[in-house]
Each structure stands twice: as C-alpha cells, then as structure tokens.
Structure 1
Amino acid sequence: MTDHDNELELRRKKLQFRGAHRGTKENDILVGRFMDAHLATLNARQLDEFEALIVDIPDADFFKWATGKEKAPAAYDTEVLAMINELSNAR
C-alpha cells in the first residue's frame, strides 16, 4: 500500500466517524447508506465533496438537498450529493 493509499484510508475512517454522527436520525440513515455503498471506493476529490457536505452544511439543508426537496447551491451540487440522492427513499 502506498502513502497515498494510506492517506485516503485514514481520511475514509475519519469521515466514517463524522458521517455516523450527523445529528439527526434521518441524516444518519442517509449518510450511513451512502457510506456503506460507496465510502471504500471514493477517490480524493469525492472524499473532499463528502467532507464538505458533512462538515459545512447544517442538517436541515443537507436533508433537503439529499432527498431532492431543494436544489443545492452549485458549490455543493456534486457527484457525491447525486450519489446520496440516488440512495434516498424520497425518489
């Protein structure tokens, strides 16, 4: 395993912890589904996108965006948000 691979794996573990502690049960479920399905294979850019969503965004906004109830601002309307939205039951 290279240093780059080790760095990505460490980031995944940190994000897994943060993602599992979003704050609301609904968001915990959405983020948990996403992490179960995709976290192990995200590249560095996707990890950046995921981190921005779970660190920068208030729970209420995240839920509306993740379930497609509102459109996210361009800076957060990312591939990762689309992946989360696909796993949402709101579709």
Structure 2
Amino acid sequence: MLRGIARYTSQNARRLQLTTTTAATSTSTMRLMSTQRKSQDPYPNLDIRHAPQMELETPYPNLPPIPRPNEPLEKKRARLIYQSRKRGILETDLLLSTFAQKYLKEFNMEQLEKYDKLLDEPDWDIFYWATDKKKVPDHLLNNDVLDMVRQHAKNENKVVLRMPDLENGQ
C-alpha cells in the first residue's frame, strides 16, 4: 500500500513536495502473497468447479458436523431455521430460508434430522441437487426432505421469492 506524505524541502520552504513511502509491504510482496494463497486453493478455477460435468466424487473440503445429542425439538428447529438463512451463498440462502419458513414448523424429529444432515453438505452442492443441475449422491437418494426441497425449488406457482422476515424479533 502506498500513501503520499507532504514535506517541506529544505531548499524551498514554500514549495511542497509529495513523496511516496511504503506503509507496510511492497506491492511485489503483496502480489507474491496472493499468488501463494491461490496455489493453495483446492479449486482455483470456479468455472471448472461449477461445470455440470464436474463429478461429485471431488466434493468441497468440508468440516465434520457438530454432534448435538439430546437437542430439544424446538431448539433444533430454531437452529435449522438460522442455518437455512445464513448459508453464505445468496441462492442457497433464499431457497432454504423460504423452504424452512414453509415446512419446518410441521416437521417431526425424524424429518428435522434428515434436514440437518442435508444442511451439513456444501452449499453449492445443495443448490445444484435442488435445481437438478447435478445428480444426487447415493447417500441422499432416499431423503424425502431433499425431495421436498427439490419440489420447492421448482417454484411451480412462479412466486417471486424473497428472504422471509424474522419472527418474534429473532
């Protein structure tokens, strides 16, 4: 980063001279650092990663899910609503938050568990499975909640979707 500092020169006190100094690191060092970061990225080219022919055998690096034994039903429902809204990818946020608003109130514990396992998957994969851009993996083929998400994603009534409002000041 470069910044300009105005200084009086000793030769002419009235004339200002703009001198440039480096703040912390030089531009070449910053360029080198960003190159190193890119080389560590497992998927540096997003066009390749999001291509329809990209195989599901190369999933995004994903953190293991946090075990939550004996989580009460209402607490689980509230957590899943939050996780549906705050995914990080706008398309998935919109899809899952409207789905959660419509269906999560009626889900039993078994359906909530299936939805929780679905939310442990990477965002782009959920979006592509819901929109039929990629084949659903074997471990989710019999997931009726994913089938509901896929049906919801079709938006057969052609309703303009928007992020649902938070209820009760949550």
Question: What TM bracket, shorter-length normalisation?
Answer: 0.7 to 0.9
How many aligned residue pairs are there? 85
SS of 2:138 mapped into structure 1: coil
Of the two, which has the highest radius of gyration? Answer: 2
Q: Which amino acid aligns with 1:22?
A: R
Where is the strand percentage greater, Structure 1 or Structure 2?
Answer: 2
Q: 2:110 aligned with 1:45, yes or no?
A: yes
Match of 1:32 among 94, 97, 122: 97
Counterpart in 1 of 2:84? 19
Counterpart in 2 of 1:83? 148
Distance in 1, matches of 2:155 and 2:96, equals 14
Question: How much has 1:90 moved relative to structure 2?
Answer: 7.1
Question: How much has 1:37 moved relative to structure 2?
Answer: 0.9
Deviations 1:59-81 (A, max 9, x none): 11111101122221122231111
Q: 2:124 aligned with 1:60, yes or no?
A: yes
Distance in 2, matches of 1:33 and 1:74, equals 26
Structure 2, gaps ≥5 residues long: 1-70, 157-170
TM-score, normalised to structure 1, is: 0.83
- Indicate the percent of aligned positions where both proteins have the same amino acid: 33
Two-structure CA RMSD over aligned residues (Å)? 1.8
- The answer (yes or no) to whether the contact 1:67–1:85 under 8 Å persists in 2 is yes
TM-score, normalised to structure 2, is: 0.46
